[in-house]
A = this chain, B = another copy of it.
Amino acid sequence: MALELVSQARCFGGEQRTYRHVSRETGTPMRFAAYLPPAAERGPVPLVWFLSGLTCTEENFTAKAGAQRIASALGLGLVAPDTSPRGEGVPDDAEGAYDFGLGAGFYVDATREPFSRHYRMRSYIERELPEALAELPFDMSRQGITGHSMGGHGAITIALRNPGRFRSVSAFAPIASPMNCPWGEKALTGYLGPDRAAWRTYDSCALIEDGARLDGLLVDQGTADSFLESQLKPEWLEEACARAGMPLSLRRQEGYDHSYYFIATFMEDHLRWHAERLAR
């Protein structure tokens, strides 16, 4: 499981790197991006994960979110994984749609043919990649997690299923309840089959309903997001948290859309939220 360094560039005094490694979970080579702030030269730094949305690779966040400036100042490491297995032999959406298959792993372990062999993004992110990161100067006792859209769903569900692992959790325009929107219903049916009981472990709202909790959760959602009403539905999350008494800071940001211009605008708030909770 050795990491191969694909590229590196100095950035805000630290290093922006891209790594490649062969994943036992997905059975494919996987890439991820890692930012090492200047503080990492002196010892292990806290780590914030960023899980990306539909169609993204590890590069979108890395190139567009402007996160390195803030991570450099706050002494945070960043890791951005890819969003699905890729390569020869990896099955895709039957019609090549953007919302299933390649670039759309939805952070689940597929149980349905032909996807179950390679589409194991849950285990890749929850188990394999943290082990692989042992080579890097990250303090794995101080982890936070965030993400965008499909990756916001990923960040919240992974944190809910792994109590105590993440000291800080946030999301940008997350898919609040995949069980209750077209993107999610298509993906969960395709990867897991029609039995909705099996979907609950991949749905933030269902997990909270079933007893999982976070100490806090910061969510930003643009009011001009074209997916807001059809897919994202933050009111589901709001309701689930209210019922469970789980603290949620949901900020509706006037006029912002679903793009990286929205993410970049609020990245500093999120990384400061994480840094406060990751301080020793």
Q: Spell out A's residues near B (CB within 8 Å).
A: 9-13, 16, 63-64, 66, 68-69, 222, 224, 255-257, 259-262, 264-265
Contacts and interface: CB of A to CB of B under 8 A. Distances in A.
A264 B12 CA distance: 8
Contact of A261 (B68, B256, B260, B265): B68
B66 A257 contact: no
Contacts of A13: 265
Nearest to A260: B63
Among A10, A68, A255, A265, residue most surrounded by chain B Cβ atoms (within 10 Å): A10
Contacts of A264: 11-12, 66, 68-69
A265 B67 CA distance: 11
Contacts of A69: 66, 264-265
A10 B68 contact: no
Contact of A262 (B10, B66, B260): B10
Contact of A222 (B10, B257, B259): B10
A261 B64 contact: no
Contacts of A10: 222, 224, 255-257, 261-262, 265
Assembly stoichiometry (copies)? 2
Contacts of A9: 256-257, 259, 261-262
B68 A12 contact: no
A233 B68 CA distance: 29
Contacts of A63: 63-64, 260
Nearest to A62: B261
A11 B267 CA distance: 12
Contacts of A66: 66, 69, 264
Nearest to A69: B66
Nearest to A9: B261
Given A9-B256, A16-B261, 8 more contacts: A9-B261, A10-B224, A10-B261, A11-B262, A11-B265, A12-B264, A66-B264, A68-B261
- The 5 A-B residue pairs with the shortest CB-CB distance in the complex, in nearest-first order: A11-B261, A66-B66, A9-B261, A10-B255, A10-B256
A235 B222 CA distance: 48
A15 to B, nearest CB: 9
Given A66-B69, A69-B66, A260-B63, A265 B12 contact: yes
A257 B17 CA distance: 13
A85 B256 CA distance: 31
Contacts of A265: 10-13, 69
A191 to B, nearest CB: 31
A68 B268 CA distance: 14
